[in-house]
Structures are given as structure tokens and as C-alpha cells.
Structure 1
Amino acid sequence: MVSAPLALPMDVALIGLLGAAVLLYSIQDELPAVDALLEVKLEEPLRIYTADGSLMAEYGVQRRRAVDFEDIPPDLVNAFLAAEDSRFYEHRGIDVIGLARAAYAVAQAGEATQGGSTIPMQVARNFFLTPEKTIKRKVSEIMLAMRMETTLSKEQILELYLNKIFFGNRAYGISAAAEFYYSKTLDELSLPEMAMLAGLPKAPSANNPLADPERARERRDWILDRMLALGYVDEVDHSMAWVSPVTAEAYVAPVEFEAGYAAEMARQAMVERFGAEEAYRLGLKVTTTIDEKLQTESDRALRRGLMAYNRRHGYHGPEDQLENVGDMSDESLDAYVAARPAVPDLPVGVVLEADANKAEVYLGGGETRELRLWQVNHMRKYVNENAKGRRQSRVDRVIATGDVIRLRQNNKGSWILTQVPTVGGALVALSPTDGAIRAVSGGYEFDWSKFNRATDARRQPGSTFKPFVYAAALGKGYTPASLVSDTKKSFGSWKPKNADGKYMGTIRMRVAIAKSRNLAIINQLDRMGIDYTRDFLQRFGYSMEDMPRNYGLALGGGSSTPLQLAAAYAVFANGGYQVEPHIVQRIEDANGNLLFAAEPPQACVSCWLELEAGEAEVHGLGEADSPLAQQVLDPRIAYNMTSMLQDVITDGTARRARRLGRSDLAGKTGTTNESRDSWFAGYMPRLVAVAWMGMDDNRPLGSGEWGGTAALGMWVDFMADALEDEPIAKIKRPEGMVPVRVSAATGRASSGGSVLEYIRSEYQLMTLGPNPVKYAAASGRSGSSNARRSRSGPRRSAPRRSAPRVMDELF
């Protein structure tokens, strides 16, 4: 019988033992199966590639990459054993001697220089992923470590540890760490680099060679000393490694092809598909539809066009100003220059000194350039969109000390003053066969402005919208020979006018679109009805919200992005099929398994084009068995519209494109009120491209910046290179069309007519349409140009009349 004085302590002890037993029992049930620990989830960054296979961008919050134990160099394993668990091969999950040694080291040094947890315990802690310091968690670690020791081999435990451990900077696993800090594979690492990596798991932030190189080196050298003491390395290797400098550098993705706007579009598509977190962890390999040649030419053409505008309108001054620049060290200047947005071929410069004759400009890295008067005085000061200041006679009246400027090389290789263009612009090209986006340039440079004007800038399309309204007219039974009225008319309080203030009278629809007559299309819209027209225009992908329910619809008074406009013009280019613009072609996971392959609906190429012998019927980037796209437009209407839009180039507002020397080009210029937007939308049957220029804040571009100048110049520049090796495309004339001779003046069918039109067979006797406009000859200098020949008909002798100067303008 237990005496009373001992009863209470024994009861307490018994309760404690029972409590411990309950705790152990509960923990036993909560411990994961060892097999679950063996599953190392690969977590790799998102990588975006061109259609040609070049890396465009890499995005990701962390890197996790597994390797087999046999692929890990022995010296690397030994470095970790020396740093974390030198008795690893001797203990069974818990190292009592190691714990005692760690405690003694703490007492001697006053800080933890070596850990008490074994590698199996660290694996267990990594699994639980919780920082709480409780008895239950510690016991769980110990029990799981012991279970691993009875189930797994030592090599399996090491492999598990080296693949799961965190190395800082979002790198998990030794392979990912080697890539991030040294851009190397494991077998390429040197001994000091191995020791440096082995020092990271204990304190990934404090021992990080990027954040604190000195502290990281101390940790590395301590590990090298341990390796020597344990016999893992000899004196020679130890000495050479010990004196090695810290060489770690943050990993930079080896981008092989720069296309920031396209890469960002693909990134956004992955976030939408997989979610904001998973998109960056699954190691997705995304192959886009971007063609490297076309993208290069798109960027080049857009930059040339924007820079040309820049030169026409003057210098806006420095992009920044530094006070007391003379007191700044080279290191401070280098840091400042490095922080400025990188813009291709336009390096940053800081003006150190400037006087009447020269200026000294610092470019970074100790490099300076001297600018003389002839290198700066071409940059006349911007006054407003229509005026520049006079040319200066002193350098310091153009640039001043402390100015942050940009330089560029001229044709002779000399550096001259410039600026990043203040105007915005976009150029997008897509395949009309399947909607694959082949090139997209959303601004001068992505790092300078990440706003993608090709996809996100909703602007008034101006006269580039007129072809859709004329297509609606053809759909109602009118023909290219139908007369339209380019005459003055009021619509309530609105009194629209042509940009030149002149009127051409009654003219054929073909002439009206080539000359881009505002009153002609407004009067035609009035005859057709706004509701009918808006309903018809949905065939081109526009919603009712995009189109105003008023007469401004005829002049592009709604809204459109350049990409949206390109998709709409694809309907003309491919014979009437509606295709969906897309930039993602394939998605693979980290193991190369196919997750997605685009199979976009495709237009029927053989229905529309005369193909060469042996040429593939479908030319899209998708699978060969992709479904046929929906045909939203009668191919005969597409044929007529293409013919009329070719006249815009041969005899209309886009004559500048004739220098390309191609007969298969069609398109339309567009300029909005006060030249706030300059557009050109054009195509040939295998490629659609849209160019736009405008101020992001919608200020006017200035006089002369019309669709036929600013935007068309970029488009022609792009197409000249894009179509360099592309044969002339020949369109098949759809069935159900008959040749009809019509009068150039009246549009009526006439055996002696000077204009040859192909008319839908059901309308061959009704060339003027269901509600004909009465022909009335115009007189005076603003008279009709009906006598001018059609592109598709022969020239005849006729009195020459002056055609008014054309400028598309939205009122």
C-alpha cells in the first residue's frame, strides 16, 4: 500500500504518462505515410515561347526541381553533411551526440553555429510547413524521422532532403538553387559554390550571398573547414576553395527573343486558365503563335513610325532632371542609369556639364560622350502639335546640366540627341485563315510603357469602319456600281461635312469608298436604316455596345481596338469567315505532357484562293482537322469589298502603298476628328495588319497626321518586309457573279459602259440597288469624278475634273 505522502506525486506521474501516451497515440494517427513524403511536386516557372521555339519570357514565384540521388555530385552531398548532419550515416533519425554538440557550441559562441536537428528531422519539419514551436510538433518531427529511418534508405532520405529544402529567392531543391545562384547544372558547380549552397538552408535570408555576401562567405568558409576536418576534402582543394571570391548572381531568364507585349498577353491567358497561383507553379511551357520575323518587322516599323512623328513635332525636353549632379559619385550615377527603363537603341545619358559649344554626357560604367552643337540642334523645342521652336545656336539652350536624356546613332554611326516618342502607337498582324496573332506591338517598348495599345486601347476607328457599312449596303442589295449621294444634308442640328468642304455629287459606291467621302456614306446609312446596319455589323465581331445608334456610326464614331479591327478585316480577307484572334498555340506541363493544343475554326482556303499545285488547303497554325469557321458574309460581298478596297490603294487615299508593287493588297485609311487617331487597316489574303497612332490622352496629333500618312507609313514599312517572300495571292471569283458593263457616271448597265463590275447574278439588272439615287451631274471645281475609270475597268477619254483633296475626318 502506497503511503499518503507519495500518493499525490505518483498520481501526477501516472496522469503525465497517460497524457504522453494519448499524445503519442494521437500523433501516430496524424503522421503521414512515408510514401507521401517521396512525392516531390515539381514547381517550375511559367515560360513563354515564340512559334519558332525561342524563349520570350519567364514568370514564376518559385522554382522546385527534383533530381535523382545518383545525379548529385559526392562533394555536394558531403558539403551538406558537413553543414547539417555529419553523423547522418551513424544515427537512426535522432543524433543525441549532435544535439549535445550543438548545445555546447551555443554556450561557447553565444549563437547557433551548428544545428541540432538531423536531416531526417528537417525533412519532417519541411513536410509540416509550420513555424510553431510546440512539444507536439517537435515530437511529430522525431517520430516521423524515426519512421523514415526504418522505411527508407539513407540515400532516399538525402535525395528527399536535397529536393525539398528551401534555398531562398523562391528556389526549392538543390537543382533549382544551382540554377538561380550560379546559372549552372549540379555537375558544373565548383567546390566553393557547393559549400555556399550548403550554407543556405540554415538561414536562407541571413546567409544569402546576394543579400549579405560577407556573412554568406563566413558560413561557406566554416563549411569548408568542416569538410576538411571530416576528411571530405584535402588541404589543396580546401585552400583553393577558401580563397575563392563570392560569385553568386541572381538568375536572369535567358530570353532569346524580346516581345514583351506578346509575352504579357500569353501570361494573362495562363492566369485566366489556371489561376493566379497555379499558372506560375506548374512549369507550363506555352508556345505562342508569334512569328519571329513578323514580330521583328512589326516592332521595327512601329518604332520607325513613332520616331518619325517625334522628329516632325519637336523635343519635349529631358525625361528627368538631377539636382547637384556634380556631387554624385560614379556609383550613384550608375545605379540611377541602371534603374531607368531600358529602351532598345536609345541609351540613357546624364548631362554632367553643358556650355555653348559642347556637353559631357555620362552613359554609365564610367563611359562618357561629348555632344557638339550639330548633335543636338536638330531637336527643336516642341511648342504645340502644330509648331516647333527655332533651331538653337548654343548647346546649353537645348540640354542643360543635370538633364536625363536619350541618345541614338544616326546613319553614320554618330551619337545624337533624341527622346522616347511621346506619341502612342500599335501594330498587330494576324492570319485571316485561323485568327492566329503573328505579331503584336503595343507601344514603342514594353519596359517603357506596359499598356498594350493593340489590345486595350479602345479608340474611334474613323473611316476604317466605313467598309463594314458599305458591306451592309451590299447585303441589302446595292452593288459597287450603285450611286451614293455626296451632297450636303442636315440631320437635325447635326450638319456633317467633308473634310475639304467640297462635294462630289452623285458618285458610284466604288468611287465613294476609294475617296472616303463622308457625306456619301452618311446619306447611304440614312437610306438603309441605322438598326439594320448595326445588326449587320455584328457579323464582323462588333457588339451593339461598340456601335452608336446614330449617324456617327457611318464615320466610325464607336470604339475598337486595333486587334478587334484586324479580326473584322479578316472577314474580308478570307472570303467571309469569322475567325477568333488567339495567341496561345500549345501548352505543356513541366514533364512535357500536352495540356492544350489550339484547334481554332479555320476559313476554307481552297474555297477562296487559287492554290499552287501541292499547296496545303489549310494554312493555319492549328491541327489539320480543325473545324470550319462560321461563314458570316456572302463570299461575293467579300469579293466586291476586296475589289473596292484595292481601289483605295491604287486610286484612293492609300496610294502610298502602291510602292509595294503588289496587286493583292487592300485596305482603308482612317483619321478621326482633329487627327486624334491615325489608322490604316489593310490585308492580303494571307495576312491582315492594322496600324494605329495616337496620343494616350487623346490629344490631337497635329495637322497632316492623317491615316494616309502616319499610320499608312508604318503599315507599308511593315508589309514591305513581311511580304518579301510571299507570292502574289490570287482570289477565286465566287460562283453566282456575272460581269456587267456600267456607266462610270450613272452606274447603270450599258453595253458601252466603261467600267466592268462583277455583280451578284440576282442583281445584274439592278445595279443601282433597291432604292436608287437619282443621278445628277455636279458642276464646278467640286464636281463629280465619276468619269475617272474604275480599277477593274479600262480608261476612257473624259473631261478631267478636279477631285478634292481627301482627308478622312470624323465630325
Structure 2
Amino acid sequence: MSSHNEPRETRMSRNADRKPGPKKPRHGWRTFRRILFVFVAIIVLGLLAGAGLFFYYAQSAPKISQSALSSDASTRIYDANGKVISRLGAQNRTYVKSKNIPKMLEKAVVSTEDRRFYKNNGIDPVRIIGAAFANVTGSSLGMQGGSTLTQQLVKLSVFSTAASDRTLKRKAQEAWLALKVDHNYSKQQILEYYINKVYMGNGVYGMQTAAQYYYGKKLSKLNLAQMAQLAGMPQRPSLYDPIHYPKYAKQRRDLVLEAMAKNKVITSAQAKAAEATSVKTGVVKNHNTTSATSAHTTKVVDAYLKQVYQELKNKGYNTTNGGLKVYTNLDMGAQKKLYNIVNTDNYVDFPSSKFQVGSTIVNPNNGKVVAMIGGRKTGNVSFGLNRAVQTDRSSASTAKPLMDYGPAIEYLYYPTYESVKDTAFTYPGTTKKLYDWDKEYQGTITMRKALYESRNIPAVRTLQNVGIKKATTFLKGLGMTFDKTLTLQNGIGLYISSEQEAAAYAAFANGGTYYKPYLVSKVVTQDGKSHKYSSNGNKAMSSATAFMLTDMMKDVITNENGSGRSAAISGLYQAGKTGTDSYPDDYADKVPDGATMDSWFTGYTKNYAISVWTGYDKQFQTGHYVSESQTSIAQKIYKYEMTYLASKSTNSNWTAPSTVTATKKNNTTEYYVTGHPGTVSDTTSDTTSSSQYGSTNTSSSSAYSSNSQVTTSSSSTGTSTTESSSSKESSSTEQRPSGGSDDDDDTNSSSATTTSSSSSSATSTTTTNNDEADD
């Protein structure tokens, strides 16, 4: 029993008796606090930096006006004078005011595009996080992205839709402008602008116009299923088109109905009833549209516009909802004149409404395509076959300056008076003979005479001397590349378009510089950015070659035996070449003597180059031939158009460059490359002329071989025909039928098909060598 006097043990005394030990370390906690502090600091700094960057970008955001919000997002096309010639989509928009927009449609749009529309301030952080989560988990109905409906309106109103413009800067500016729009306009106004602006497929803008286009009704007359259909289309209007893609249209419509039910704006029963309705119910076959561009103007510029849109597509622009301003090189006066020449009877007597034309006009000094016609009597078809850029018809003898005589001057220094042989010729390695249009031989003549009379044998012999390799290199410098190896027969016919040929001849006109032809000079996107385009010239040949070819081709038009005298314009300095492509021998008995499949004329001044093709789309159909007298039509089209163009431009002659020397030969001023006068005889008399065209070939052999069959292209017929080597080219005014140009020599008998940005390569059909080539 303890005594009360004994001292009691206390906690203090017990602790006092304990020996002090080491303290537990607290570094872990301090380290954690430091890491947490740094982490928070980084977040704060990041937010501050992000806010700073956001406001920095926001300062440079474009201005947004009520006009921009309410205007259509169509692509406008301007001519060279800045006048609107077409508005893609604008012609198909009927504006509807907010009071006339059905409330059910508004609910469908909000449920589809922005469920929190009435709660957000133009941007929605919750929506952005939700969209990101849905993208990761795949839980979204496919209805909600990160952008609010207001942001989508801003995007459609002021920004480019190009993928290259989807930058952080633009997203920041888009968000900033969305905040401003939400602040300045009511939700009803924003919905009104959006419903009227969105692209709805088939060139239609706005849901009111879409209702008329797809259902032939006003918005107020549509049922629930139809409203849901329209509400779901803006995301992918082409794919959700109920006319062409009903399967995908139904899937999209049903998603909209489910979203509406989920948002409790309709019942599940209503959604299921609407889902049971076919998407084709109520869809009309005849679509009502209005036109902001007159029908006549549309016809006049149809081919040109089609090529403009192709050029824009190649550059990566979206013409359906890009809101672009596209400035072109179109000379509307020249375009209208060309259209009237080929579509009225005031200038040329056309044999029938099916007789066709394809033509391109190029400025030789910069490559600008100033006018283009893709056909005549085409009816109300929009963006139909553009024959100005087709490459499935032989250019016949218009190929001679490009592939034969041009390279001969450039690489072999031929003078204009070079002696060339017009004597019997058999394609090397074959028994196939080549003939001139008259099936006679003139013996030894000058290159000048061979060109202006468009004789085939001297042209092919010249190409043989030049060689296919060098000739192909020369053509490449003029913008022409081919899928297959060229052959000797291509020397009297290439598969190229009038656009390509006009641009190539333009190089002769300007002294040897090739400019790739182009139609679009400037594009202004919705965000105000301007993108300018031009063609950089490349030296394709010496100025001597260009001048000497031009001087020889003047005689095509002016010489009494020239093949292109129907293109003559009094007092105008011009040059050019004819071309006619005759029928194969096995078809010759089905058409009159002298009839051809195609007739060309390509000519130029120092200011314009014009290439014209004429013929029929189905050249082997009964009656679809170009008669001997009709081969002048291409020249006459050129003549009337060039007369118009010459009236508004200077008329100046070409002057010989210092690299060219003039000399007199047989009372004719001839030229040679300075320092290369040539060693050949300048005799022009024909001592070996013979009408016995079956004589043997006197030319030296060549490394090129050829089969008796040749593949040529014709997308219009899609049938095979066999052509033999006989051609016609009359020395009368214009006619020089000719042929074929296409059979390949070499093991592979198929003609080369040209590829270019402006045209697609043609399908092949079999033909035999058509002799000569041209007019």
C-alpha cells in the first residue's frame, strides 16, 4: 500500500526520465508542398499565358457585321473587270425571317447542334469538355462537337473553311467573335442567321430554300420528319442528301429525332413515328430554284466556269460553303463574241446543231485564259462536256510546229529554207506507207513550203532527224507530258486540248517563253485573306526558234498555197497552223472523198493565241463527218474572234532577234540561226516529183519501228476502229484533211494520251495509222 507521502509519477516526470531520441524527418511533406506549389504555379502561369495569347489573337480578329451574319456564304466569281458573273449557291437562297421559322425546326436545330444554346454565352466550356470526353469514349450520338451554334455561325460568316486555316489563332478569334455575337444579338437572331446561312447541298443555301428544293414547300408546311431531316443536313450536306443518299439521310434524321426526344422537345412516341417515315416521302423530282445570274449569261460562261471550279478544287478550295470571292482572267467581251460566233448563224454556216466546237484564248504574255468555249447548242445543261480541254482528239497537223519543225530549229539549227524530202516514205520496221494529202510527191522542197502546205512526209522525216527524245523534251518545255512514249506518227497529230495548244503557240508569239495557262488570278476567303495567282514563265525555246516558226506560219495564212487562207485578216500581223484528221482507210468508203473527223486552226498575234477544234462527238456515226468545205469552219471561227480582239489591241509585227540572220532565197526572205546557215541545198524545184505514191522509201532507216495498228483515244465513241496511213490535205483555201497522227511506231501501238491539270487522259480505242495529218 503506497504511502500518500510518496510523490506521484506524472507524464512530465516520465518524459523527463526519457532520453531524447532522433526526430522523425519531415522532408517528404515539404517536398510534396513544393511540388504542389510548382504545379499550381505552372497551371496559373499557363492560364495567364493562355489568356494573354487569347486576347492577343482576339485583337487581330476580323470585324463581324450584321451584313456578314445575314449574307449568304456563296462563292462569287468575277471577270477580269471585277464584275460578278456567277454566284454559286446565291441563286438558290430564299431568306426567311425569325417569325416565319417554325419553332419545331428551331428545337431540332438546337437539339442537333447545341443543346446548351440558350444557356451559354457563345462559347461553352462544358460542351468542349463533353465533346472531348465523347470523342474519347465514343459515347456521343454524333451530334455535338466542341463548337457552339454561335461559333458555327461565326465560322460561316467570316472565316475560311479550309483545313489549313484550322489553327489555334483562328479558334481563339472564333471564340472571341462568338462572345461578341452572343452579346450583341438575341438568341432568336442568331438562330435566324444560322438557319438562313447553312449550306444544304446541291448548290442550295438556307433551310427555307432547302424546303422548296427538296420538298417543294415552305418551312411552315413541313412535318416533323422533314424538319429533322433539314436540321441534320448542315454537318455533311452532300452525304445526307435524301435524294442521292437516302440510307445515310435516314440515319442522320433518326439521330436528330432521338436527340429531340432526349431533350424532351418531342416524345419518344413522336420520334418513333417520324423514324418510321421514309426519307423519300414528299421529296420532289422537279426542283424550284431562282437565279441571280441570268440563264443567258450562265450559258455564255459555262465552260469557263467549269474550268474555274476545277482550278479552285486543284488549289484545295471548297466552293460549296467557302464564301469565296474568285477573280478570274475572263474577258467577258471576248467570251460573248466567241459564244455568239459558235451559237448563231450570223458568222458561220454550221452543218447541224450536233456539229461541235472547243476553243481557248490565251494571253501570250502571261498565260491568262481570257475566254473558253466548251461546245455549241448545249441546251440548258450546266457544267457539261468541256471540249476546250478534252484530249481525246488528234490535233493533226497543228502538231508539226510543236514536235517536228520547232525542235529541228532549236536542236539541229535548221534554217527556214532547209531542204526536206517529200518522197515515198515507209515507217521504219513496217510495210506501212505515209502519204501526203494529194498522194503525190514534190521531191526536195524547203521546210517553209512543207509547213505552209502542210505536207506530212517532210514533217515526219524532220522528226526522224530530230529524234523522239529531243522532240519530247521540246514538248515538255511547252507544258505537255504524255502517258506513253511518243512515236513518229505523233509528229502529225498529238492528243492535246485546245487549252494546251493555245498556250504552246503563245510561246511562239512571245519569243519563246511558256506560261502555264490559268483562269483564276485571285481568291479572297471569308476571313479577308487574299491569295494571288500567276504563271511564272519558263524559257521553252530560243527567241530564234520562236521567230523563225512564226515567220513560216505567216505563210500558212498569206501564201496562195497556204492551208489556212480562210483565216486571213487584212492588215493584221498573225501566224497559225491548220490541222485535219482524216478517217481510217477501212472507214473511208463510208464518207465522201475529202471528209475528215476533226478540223483545227490555231493562230496568234503578239496579243492573243486562239486554238479552235471542230468536229462531232461521235465521229463514226452516220453523217458525222467534216466535209472538205467544212474544214474551213475552224479557221472562220478564229478569224471572226481574232478580228474582234484585234480591234481592241495594238497591231505590231515581230522583229527578228539578233540571233537570227536574214537571207534571200528564190526571191523570198528566209532566216537562219546566226552562225548556222546550214549546208543543205536551197533548191526548191522538184526534180524527183512523182505521182506514183507507191514507190519505195528513199529515206535512211531509223531506229524507230512501228506496228501496223495504232491505239488512239476517243471518249466520245468508246469503240475500236482501224485506221491506215492515208491522209488528205488540200492546197485549197482551208482543207487539208489528214490523218492520223496517232499510230505509234515502236512495239506498243498505242497513241500517247496527254495529261494535264485541265483535262483527264482519254480511254483508248484501236485504230490504224491515218496518214497525214492535217487540214
Q: Equivalent residue for 1:340?
A: none
AA partner of residue 736 (structure 2): M
Q: Map 1:756-775 onto structure 2 (within 5 A).
A: 756-764=669-677, 766=678, 768=680
| Aligned-partner Cα distance in 2 for 1:455–1:512 | 29
Aligned equivalent of 1:656, options 566, 589, 596 = 566
AA partner of residue 77 (structure 2): I
Alignment CA distance shift 1:253-1:777 (3 Å): same
Aligned equivalent of 1:582, options 494, 518, 532 = 518
TM-score (norm 1): 0.54
Q: Map 1:26-45 onto structure 2 (within 5 A).
A: 44-45=73-74
Aligned equivalent of 1:682, options 603, 607, 611 = 603
| Aligned-partner Cα distance in 2 for 1:533–1:425 | 29
Shift of 1:306: 12
Is the Cα–Cα contact under 8 Å of residues 395 and 600 in structure 2 kept in the other structure? Answer: yes
Alignment CA distance shift 1:701-1:637 (3 Å): farther
Superimposed CA distance per residue, residues 443-488 of structure 1 (whole angstroms, 9 cap, x where no aligned partner): 1155347011111242111100111211111121211111111112
Shift of 1:723: 1.9
Shift of 1:654: 0.9
Tell me if 1:483 matches 2:419.
yes
Is the Cα–Cα contact under 8 Å of residues 91 and 289 in structure 2 kept in the other structure? Answer: no
Shift of 1:682: 0.5
Q: Equivalent residue for 2:474?
A: 536
| Aligned-partner Cα distance in 1 for 2:361–2:628 | 22
Tell me if 1:279 matches 2:215.
no
Tell me if 1:507 matches 2:441.
no
| Aligned-partner Cα distance in 2 for 1:484–1:121 | 86
Is the Cα–Cα contact under 8 Å of residues 556 and 576 in structure 2 kept in the other structure? Answer: yes
AA partner of residue 48 (structure 1): I
Alignment CA distance shift 1:698-1:656 (3 Å): same
Q: Equivalent residue for 2:649?
A: 726
Is the Cα–Cα contact under 8 Å of residues 471 and 637 in structure 1 kept in the other structure? Answer: yes
Secondary structure of 2:638's counterpart equals: helix
Alignment CA distance shift 1:703-1:443 (3 Å): closer
Shift of 1:260: 0.9
TM-align CA RMSD? 5.2
Is the Cα–Cα contact under 8 Å of residues 464 and 680 in structure 1 kept in the other structure? Answer: yes
Q: Equivalent residue for 2:78?
A: 49
Secondary structure of 2:434's counterpart equals: coil
AA partner of residue 580 (structure 2): T
Tell me if 1:263 matches 2:305.
yes
AA partner of residue 513 (structure 2): Y
Shift of 1:43: 7.2
Shift of 1:267: 1.5
Shift of 1:181: 9.4
Q: Equivalent residue for 2:200?
A: 170
AA partner of residue 267 (structure 1): Y
Superimposed CA distance per residue, residues 46-102 of structure 1 (whole angstroms, 9 cap, x where no aligned partner): 222222233333334999999xxxxx9xxx6677799999xxxxxxx9xxxxxxxxx
Q: Equivalent residue for 2:187?
A: 157
Is the Cα–Cα contact under 8 Å of residues 488 and 503 in structure 1 kept in the other structure? Answer: yes
| Aligned-partner Cα distance in 2 for 1:711–1:499 | 19
Q: Map 1:403-802 onto structure 2 (within 5 A).
A: 421-445=353-377, 447-448=380-381, 450-468=384-402, 469-475=404-410, 476-491=412-427, 492-545=430-483, 548-549=486-487, 551-556=488-493, 558-594=494-530, 596-601=531-536, 629-651=537-559, 652-658=562-568, 660-674=569-583, 675-699=596-620, 701-702=624-625, 704-705=627-628, 708-742=631-665, 744=666, 754-764=667-677, 766=678, 768=680, 777-778=687-688
Is the Cα–Cα contact under 8 Å of residues 571 and 577 in structure 1 kept in the other structure? Answer: yes
Superimposed CA distance per residue, residues 385-412 of structure 1 (whole angstroms, 9 cap, x where no aligned partner): xxxxxxxxxxxxxxxxxxxxxxxxxxxx
Alignment CA distance shift 1:741-1:546 (3 Å): farther
Shift of 1:511: 1.0
Is the Cα–Cα contact under 8 Å of residues 463 and 471 in structure 2 kept in the other structure? Answer: yes
Shift of 1:673: 1.9
Is the Cα–Cα contact under 8 Å of residues 706 and 808 in structure 1 kept in the other structure? Answer: no
Q: Map 1:232-247 onto structure 2 (within 5 A).
A: none
Superimposed CA distance per residue, residues 752-788 of structure 1 (whole angstroms, 9 cap, x where no aligned partner): xx22223222123x2638xx999752568999xxxxx
| Aligned-partner Cα distance in 2 for 1:480–1:782 | 28
Shift of 1:636: 1.0
Secondary structure of 2:611's counterpart equals: strand
Shift of 1:179: 8.8
| Aligned-partner Cα distance in 2 for 1:53–1:181 | 33
Q: Which moved more, 1:468-477 or 1:717-726?
A: 717-726
Shift of 1:164: 3.1
| Aligned-partner Cα distance in 2 for 1:709–1:502 | 23
Alignment CA distance shift 1:445-1:778 (3 Å): same
Alignment CA distance shift 1:310-1:638 (3 Å): closer
Stretches of structure 2 that go unaligned for 5 or more consecutive residues are 1-50, 132-138, 150-177, 213-217, 231-241, 243-286, 584-595, 694-729, 740-770
Secondary structure of 2:118's counterpart equals: helix
AA partner of residue 665 (structure 1): Q
| Aligned-partner Cα distance in 1 for 2:200–2:635 | 47
Secondary structure of 1:455's counterpart equals: coil
Q: Equivalent residue for 1:58?
A: 87
Alignment CA distance shift 1:546-1:253 (3 Å): farther
Secondary structure of 2:687's counterpart equals: coil
Alignment CA distance shift 1:154-1:528 (3 Å): closer
| Aligned-partner Cα distance in 1 for 2:346–2:578 | 17
Is the Cα–Cα contact under 8 Å of residues 200 and 210 in structure 2 kept in the other structure? Answer: no
Is the Cα–Cα contact under 8 Å of residues 43 and 62 in structure 1 kept in the other structure? Answer: no
Shift of 1:584: 0.6
Q: Map 1:108-127 onto structure 2 (within 5 A).
A: 120=118
Alignment CA distance shift 1:707-1:472 (3 Å): farther
Q: Equivalent residue for 2:702?
A: none
| Aligned-partner Cα distance in 2 for 1:170–1:546 | 43
Aligned equivalent of 1:300, options 340, 348, 351 = 340
Alignment CA distance shift 1:567-1:63 (3 Å): same
AA partner of residue 361 (structure 2): A
Is the Cα–Cα contact under 8 Å of residues 77 and 87 in structure 2 kept in the other structure? Answer: yes
Shift of 1:726: 2.2
Alignment CA distance shift 1:284-1:60 (3 Å): same
Shift of 1:647: 0.4
AA partner of residue 47 (structure 1): R
Secondary structure of 1:274's counterpart equals: coil
AA partner of residue 777 (structure 1): T
Shift of 1:590: 2.8
| Aligned-partner Cα distance in 2 for 1:78–1:725 | 54
AA partner of residue 680 (structure 2): L
Is the Cα–Cα contact under 8 Å of residues 564 and 635 in structure 2 kept in the other structure? Answer: yes
| Aligned-partner Cα distance in 1 for 2:548–2:466 | 19
Q: Compare relative contact order (CA 8 Å, sep 6+) and give the higher one, 1 or 2.
A: 2
Shift of 1:498: 1.3
Q: Equivalent residue for 1:807?
A: 736
Is the Cα–Cα contact under 8 Å of residues 543 and 657 in structure 2 kept in the other structure? Answer: yes
Shift of 1:544: 4.5
Q: Which moved more, 1:455-464 or 1:635-644?
A: 455-464
Stretches of structure 1 that go unaligned for 5 or more consecutive residues are 1-32, 67-71, 86-92, 94-116, 183-195, 212-247, 314-420, 602-628, 745-753, 784-802
| Aligned-partner Cα distance in 2 for 1:428–1:567 | 9
Secondary structure of 1:678's counterpart equals: strand
| Aligned-partner Cα distance in 1 for 2:498–2:189 | 53
TM-score (norm 2): 0.56
